[in-house]
Every structure is written in structure tokens, then in C-alpha cells.
Amino acid sequence: MVSLHFRTASMAVLAIAPAGISGVGILDQDPSAKAYQQAYNLVLDEKWTDAKAALENYIKQYSKSNVVDAAKFWHCYTREKLNEDPEQVFECYNSFVKANPKSKWVNDAKSNMTRIAYQLSKAGKPQYQATLKSMEQADDEEVQLAALYALQNVGDERAYNAVVSLYGKSKNERLRGKIVYVLGEFAGNEATSKLIEIAKTDESVNVRKSAVYAIGNKQGAGSIKALSEIIQSKADPKVRQAALYAAANVNTREVVALLTDVALTDQEESIGKAATYALANVPEADAGAALQKILREAKLLKVRQAALYALANRNDGAGLAALKDVALNDPESSMRRAATNALGNIHGSESFTALQEVFRRSKDSKIRESALYAMGNSRSAEAEKFLLEVASSDDEEKVAKAAVYALGNLLGDDRKNVLMDIMKKSKSLEVRKAVMYQVAQSKSVESVNVLTQILKDEKDPEFRLAVVYALGNLHSDDAVDALVNVVKTDENKRIRTAAVNSLGQIGTDKARAALIEILEGK
């Protein structure tokens, strides 16, 4: 059932600390604060008789205190807890509200007054019915909310009728949303029918969605029937989507059949996708089978893609074979790529094995690249060796570069030195550059050392130029010495000029001093 979060006196008694009394030092200095704290502690301990006496003494002795209104409120509350005459307690709260209209405790007092007035009205004192009506019909939203929350715990037919009446009169969207959740607490078909009506007709989409979720929280076959009625209606798509997600939270086997049918038959793409993603939240095993059915049979491409991602996110292995089949055999290239990417979201050796097969069997370079990137996301211990092999030896330059980038993602900053093995083995300048850029991303001392070593070993001027710029992008003093050495010793004028520019880009005191020395010819 819905759990409403609102502030009533019974909750506040556990949560509200008196203002201005936050430390022992203040209590020692201020007798008023200390006296209030002692009385308040008795309220917290539910020692109602002692608390009432202490609060009465406090009100007499400290009538000018800045928390005397709180003391007066708690005094009425202790009288209520001591089961004193309800009419006298009602009048206690009423006097408090009139005397302290700006107190933060006014709404709590009004809520308690509403509850007591309702009880007195039921006990044969009709004069309190007028009080109830005046509070329910008040223009003040907070007053109406106080009345609503008080009626929520009563739970009989008259309370239900009062809540429905308040809904019918309210022009305030926020208040109607609160009323919807209170209606969700009432059992019976009448309350459910009212919620269905609200879900279909309220002028606010937010209120209609709130009604949908209130129905879902009721649980059971009745809720599914009601939600199905909304889903099949011509309601706003956002409301229908809310009904789909609410249905997924209802613990009944009918949910899977309902969501599957919507995903396969609804002509609106957003609804089909929502039904599919809602299925991913259903824990039953047959939800996995239903997603595979949608993957095979849905006519809308986006719905099929949603089924792919939903299967991957279940992470229960049920859809791995289905995803691999799509990645290898689906006539739509976008589906093959989506399935390949989804396989990367299923972590473990089985997904890695499937991605290997996709990589080796696919003739589409983009699918092969997607398989490598997915391996980089798979967290598989086997992926590192495989990606190193592809990066070092694959004949397709784009594929080999994809393996480098996937490795960078898999290894993290602290293991980028592993990539240097590719630098030695690869014959492709572009692949070696990709390794260099991956090393430079970590911006660590180790990356400076690796880039410096590349400068010493590499003969290709274009590559050396790229390394010089990468050193400048590190913005590190550790790169200054290597760049100064390039300025002084490199035979290529473009590379020496690039090294000077990189020193300027670093911009630290050490880099500026190096530039001055270069200008002075030292």
C-alpha cells in the first residue's frame, strides 16, 4: 500500500527539536530553554501526566519565551493522550490556533482538530460536522491537507465520501495529487473505480499518473485489470506508460502476458518500448522468455532494440544466446550492433566467448569494432590478451585501433604501460598513434616517461610531432626536460617549434624558465 509521508503530531513528537536549544552550553545559560527541554523530554518518553504538568508550569513561568507556542501545542497534545474529554481537547487546539496563527504547529493542531471533530460527529454531536466542512472547504491548501491527512486514518464510508468530495472541489493540482494517494488507501472496488476515472479524466497529467501508481500499489488481480483498462485506453501516452511500469510492480503472473501483448501489438513506439522495459523489472523467469519473444516477433525496430537492452540488463544469462544470434544473423545492421553492444553489458566469460565468436564470424567491420568495444566493457580477464593480439596484428587498421581504445577502457590509467607491447609489434602508424594517445590520457609521471621513451625510439617525424603535442597537453613539469631536449637536439625544425609551443602550453614556472633559457641561447 502507499506510504504517505506527512507531518502529524504523532510523527512530529519523534522528530521535532525545540528551536534554539542545540547544545548543553545553551541549556546551562538559559533556564527557559532548559525547562522546555525537560518538559519536551517527558513528551518524548510518553510520560503524559508528568509532561502535562511540566508544560503547564512552563507556560505560566515563561509566557514570553520564543517557544511558548510549542509548549502550548504539546500541552493540548498531552491532554489528548490522557484521554480527556474530546470536546475540551478540541477547544484547547482551537484556542491555540486562534492565539498563535503564525506558529509552525498550527497545521498539526488543525489536523488533530479535524480528526477529533470527525470522531465527535460520529458520536452524535452534529455541530462538529460544520467544523469538518469548513476545514475541508477552506481556501487554505495547508488547512485542506490537514483535513485530508486526518481523514485518511479513519477509513470508513463517510471519510471516503469526504475525500472524494474534496477532490471534486479542488482546483489545486498538488492537493488533488495528495488526495489520489489517500484514495489509494481505501479498500474496495469503489475507490479503485474512482482512481481509474481520475487516471483517465483529470486535467493534470501528473495527477493522472499519481492515480495510476496508486492503483498499482493496491496489488492483486484487480489492480492489473484496472491498469490494463488504462493501458488499452486512448489516454495520454505518459499516463499509459506509467500504467505499464505500475503493472510491472504488481505481484501477479498476469503481468507478463499483459506487457508482452502490449509490446507486440501496440502501434505507438513509446508504448511498446515502455512495455518492454517494464518487463525487465518483472523478476519471474518467464519474463526473460517473453523478452526473447518480443526480440523475435516485434514489428517495431525500436521495440526490438529495447528487448535487447532489457535482456542484457537482467544479467541472468537467459538472453545471451538470443543476443548472440541477433548479433550474427539479424538482417538489420543496427540490430546487429545493438545486440553486440548489449552483450558487453553481460559480464563474465560466457559473454566474452560470445563476443569472440561475433568478432571472428562477422564480415562487417563496424560489428567487429563494436565487439571489441563491448569486450572493453565486459570486465573479462580473458579480454586483455585477446585485445592485445587484435591490436598488434589485425590487418584492418580501424579494427586494430578499436582494440587499442577498448584496451585503454579495460585497463585503466594504472596499466597503460601494457599498451607499449603494441607499439613494438604493430606496423601501422595510426595504431601506434592510438597507443600513444591512450598512454597520454592518464597524465601521470609514468605517461611522461613512456612518451619520452617513444620520442627516443620513434623515427617517423609525424609521429614524433604528435608525441610532442601530447607532452604539452599533459600540463606537467615532468614533461619540461623532455621538451627542452627536443628543442636543443631534434633535427626537424617543425618538431623543435612544436616543442617550444608545448612548453608555452604547459605554462608553469619551470616551463617559462626553460623558454627564457632557450631565448637566451643557453
Q: Could you state, in order of their start, the residue ranges of all structural domains in the chain?
A: 1-154, 443-522
Q: How confident is the model at residue 39 (pLDDT cuts 50, 70, 90)?
A: very high
pLDDT at 454 (0 to 100)? 85
Those residues whose C-beta lies under 8 Å from the C-beta of residue 348, and which sit 6 or more positions away, are: 378, 380
Helix/strand/coil percentages in the chain, nearest 5: 75, 0, 25
Of 19-23, 301-305, 488-492, 501-505, which gets the smallest average pLDDT?
19-23
Report the b/e string of 236-266 with b at 16+ CB within 10 A: eeebbbbbbbbbbbbeeeebbebbbebbbeb
Q: Which amino acid is at 479?
A: A
pLDDT at 40 (0 to 100)? 94
pTM recorded for the entire structure = 0.60
DSSP string, 371-384: HHHHHHHS--TTHH
Does residue 378 register a pLDDT over 80? Answer: no
- Positive or negative, the Cα torsion across 12, 16, 19, 25? positive
The residue among 466, 389, 394, 390 whose CA lies nearest residue 434 is 466
Q: What single-letter DSSP state applies at residue 23?
A: S
Q: How confident is the model at residue 299 (pLDDT cuts 50, 70, 90)?
A: very high
pLDDT at 281 (0 to 100)? 85
The residue among 508, 500, 441, 511 whose CA lies nearest residue 470 is 441
pLDDT at 398 (0 to 100)? 94
> For 459-468, what is the mean pLDDT?
90
pLDDT at 187 (0 to 100)? 77
Neighbours of 398 (CB within 10 A): 14
Q: What single-letter DSSP state applies at residue 346?
A: S
> For 42-59, what is the mean pLDDT?
94
pLDDT at 456 (0 to 100)? 85
pLDDT at 319 (0 to 100)? 80
- Look at domain 443-522 and name its CATH class: mainly alpha
Q: According to the CATH classification, is domain 1-154 in 3.90.550.10?
A: no
Does residue 393 register a pLDDT over 80? Answer: yes
Does residue 324 register a pLDDT over 80? Answer: yes
pLDDT at 132 (0 to 100)? 64
